[in-house]
């Protein structure tokens, strides 16, 4: 079942961010990941008071499954980029399993 990662991003150092971007794509594809969206926030359509508008950018990645996503996230290749990411931006990373239309409660 596909697994997804979202990164909500607030850039603090543009030069460092470009350094990170120049290297990160190769690590994603090496682990079978795909970049679905890399975009700027346009507008909040619902619940604006509950949304942190400080995160002006979004990235969405897709992997074959959560195991593949986890292998990439803890890989040596990506680990060496995390300090650059941290110096460049505030990033909140969230993972999701594909929705199987099951709600427990």
What would the 3-class secondary structure string for 58-93 be? Answer: EEEEEECCHHHHHHHHCCHHHHCCHHHHHHHEEEEE
Contact residues for 6 (Cβ-Cβ < 8 A; gap 6+): 58, 59, 60, 61, 93, 94, 95, 96
- Domain membership of residue 62 (yes or no) is yes
4 closest CA partner among 80, 105, 95: 95
Strands, sheet with 3-11, edge to edge from the N-terminal-most edge strand: 34-40, 57-63, 3-11, 89-97
**Residue range 53-96, pLDDT digits in tens:** 678 999 999 999 999 999 999 999 999 999 999 999 999 999 99
The pLDDT value recorded for residue 50 is 66
User: How many domains, in total, are found in the chain?
Assistant: 1
Over the chain, what is the mean pLDDT? 91
pTM of the model: 0.88
Residue 72 belongs to what domain range? Answer: 3-91
- Domain membership of residue 104 (yes or no) is no
Distances, alpha carbon 66 to alpha carbons 7, 21, 70, in Å: 16, 23, 6
Q: Which CATH number do you get for residue 41?
A: 3.30.70.100
């Amino acid at each position: 079942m596909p697994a997804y990662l979202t990164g909500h991003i607030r850039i603090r150092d543009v030069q460092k961010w470009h350094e990170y971007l120049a290297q990160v794509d190769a690590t994603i594809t090496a682990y079978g990941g795909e970049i679905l969206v890399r975009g700027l926030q346009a507008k909040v359509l619902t619940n604006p008071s509950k949304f942190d508008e400080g995160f002006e950018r979004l990235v969405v990645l897709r992997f074959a499954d959560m195991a593949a996503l986890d292998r990439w996230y803890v890989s040596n290749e990506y680990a060496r980029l995390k300090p650059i990411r941290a110096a460049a931006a505030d990033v909140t990373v969230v993972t999701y399993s594909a929705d199987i239309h099951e709600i427990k409660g």
